[in-house]
């Protein structure tokens, strides 16, 4: 009975997207944080250039600098990737742009740098990071500013449903996605939480954790026309699962080995 109620509310509270508008999301493979490898750090311009050369779409992460610019970083702290201590938000965009990644000459870049590099050649999925008591609207504004005038295929997504809601209200031309995982370390480990997030976001697509596929919620979403990219596809087994139960793979490492298209040498 509860499953039927959730399914009914899904249909009532979140309208299916226009198929023509969202079709591109499921038409390829995305390089998770770029095509990174030793010497080519994740979320670096070099990793994204490699993805473009290989013909892959791009998935990237966004953190906000102290002065409100959208920066290409996954973590909240600098230490793992740069060896420096302290939060990213304590530094200006210009200060961050001078910081090199560990064992690499590559430096932290802005979202605007990535958009200039891509210039519409491949699609981009932009994931905005968020957490409890975080002013995510400020980061949404930073991303919107970077996207002004950009006409290539792109979408914004987040675990935080407020991101999709913000872009729907302020930049309706931008496709919006909800990122979902079911493990206890996330914000939606329980079924009711996943549905409430979906109703709040009213997304154009849902990026689902490959570890949770297949499941009824995801299957229903696909049947209704919501594209379902899946992350992180990093083994051949996960690639096979994504091919069967998702519409696109967000892949890295060995996850490319079982996909239809093999990366070309960059």
Confirm whether 22 is domain-assigned.
Answer: yes
> Which CATH number belongs to the domain containing residue 9 in this structure?
3.20.20.190
Residue 77 and residue 178: Cα distance in Å, rounded?
24
Report if residue 263 sits inside a domain: no
CA separation (Å) from 200 to 69, 94, 195, 249? Answer: 26, 35, 9, 25
Query: Is 265 inside a domain boundary?
Result: no
Identify the domain containing residue 111 by its residue range.
Answer: 2-256
H or E element, residue 70: strand 70-72
In a domain, 261, yes or no: no
User: What is the tens place of the pLDDT at every residue in 27-82?
Assistant: 999 999 999 999 999 999 999 999 999 999 999 999 999 999 999 999 999 999 99
Measured from the Cβ of residue 151, the count of other Cβ atoms closer than 10 Å reads 9
Domain count, the chain: 1
- Is residue 117 assigned to a domain? yes
- In sequence order, the β-bridge partners of residue 64 are 70
Size of the chain in residues: 266
What's the rounded mean pLDDT across residues 152-165?
98
Residue 67 CB contacts under 8 Å (≥ 6 apart), including other chains:
92, 93
Give pLDDT, residue 1. 74
Q: Is the pLDDT of residue 257 over 80?
A: no
Confirm whether 121 is domain-assigned.
yes
Asked whether residue 127 is assigned to any structural domain, the reply reads: yes
Q: Provide the 10 A C-beta neighbour count for residue 239.
A: 23
**126-155, pLDDT tens digit by residue?**
999 999 999 999 999 999 999 999 999 999
Q: Over the stretch 201-212, which tens digit does the pLDDT of each residue have? A: 999 999 999 999
Q: pTM here?
A: 0.95
Backbone angles phi, psi at 203, to 5 degrees: -80, 165
Residue 262 located in a structural domain? no
Q: Give the mean pLDDT of 80-103.
A: 97
Nearest to 125 by CA among 197, 53, 25, 200: 25
Contact 170, 142 (CB under 8 A): no
pLDDT of residue 262 exceeding 50, the answer is no
């Amino acid at each position: 009975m509860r499953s039927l109620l959730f399914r009914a509310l899904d249909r009532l509270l979140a309208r299916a997207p226009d198929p023509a508008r969202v079709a591109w999301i499921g038409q390829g493979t995305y390089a998770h944080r770029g095509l990174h490898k030793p010497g080519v750090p994740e979320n670096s311009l070099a990793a994204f250039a490699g993805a473009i050369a290989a013909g892959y779409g791009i998935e990237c992460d966004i953190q906000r600098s102290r002065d409100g610019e959208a920066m290409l970083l996954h973590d909240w702290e600098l230490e793992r990737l740069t060896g420096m201590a302290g939060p990213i938000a304590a530094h200006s965009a210009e200060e961050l742009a001078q910081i090199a990644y560990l064992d690499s000459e590559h430096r932290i870049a802005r979202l605007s740098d990535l958009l200039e590099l891509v210039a519409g050649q491949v699609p981009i999925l932009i994931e905005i990071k968020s957490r409890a008591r975080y002013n995510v609207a400020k980061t949404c504004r930073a991303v919107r500013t970077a996207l002004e005038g950009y006409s290539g295929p792109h979408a914004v997504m987040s675990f935080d449903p407020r991101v999709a809601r913000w872009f729907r209200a302020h930049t309706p031309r931008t496709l919006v996605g909800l990122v979902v995982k079911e493990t206890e370390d996330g914000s939606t480990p329980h079924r009711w939480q996943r549905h409430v997030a979906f109703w709040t976001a009213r997304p154009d697509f849902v990026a689902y954790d490959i570890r949770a596929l297949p499941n009824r919620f995801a299957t229903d979403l696909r049947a209704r026309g919501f594209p379902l990219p899946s992350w992180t596809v990093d083994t051949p087994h996960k690639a096979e699962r994504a091919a069967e139960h998702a519409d696109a793979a967000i892949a890295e490492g060995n996850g490319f080995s079982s996909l239809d298209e093999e990366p070309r040498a960059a």
